[in-house]
Amino acid sequence: MKAVAVKKGQAEPDLASFWEMGTLRCDICGDEFLILHNPGFVDKKNAEKQAHWLEKVLAEEHEREKKHPDRIELPD
């Protein structure tokens, strides 16, 4: 796994070595997600693209009345 979004406040010991690339807040419910990258794949531009992708995914989950998972694998 190269990149993942984790809901803030969740303990994720297997991701302890991952680098925090930013935080994204769901516009609808306010949940916050940390965007984390594997140290071997840290890429600021990619993190920005992933944030835009995640924004759409979170909005779609609300449209389908689904709860956000605690962890979402991000595309490369």
At residue 1, the pLDDT reads 85
For residue 3, give the nearest of 45, 48, 50 by alpha carbon.
50
Beta strands in the chain (DSSP E): 3-7, 19-25, 32-37, 71-73
* Partners of 52 in beta bridges: none
**Chain segment 1-45, per-residue pLDDT in tens:** 899 999 999 888 899 999 999 999 999 999 999 999 999 999 999
At residue 27, the pLDDT reads 95
Distance CA 65, CA 68 (A): 9
At residue 11, the pLDDT reads 82
For residue 15, give the nearest of 32, 34, 30, 43 by alpha carbon.
34
At residue 55, the pLDDT reads 97
The residues spanned by each domain of the chain are 3-73
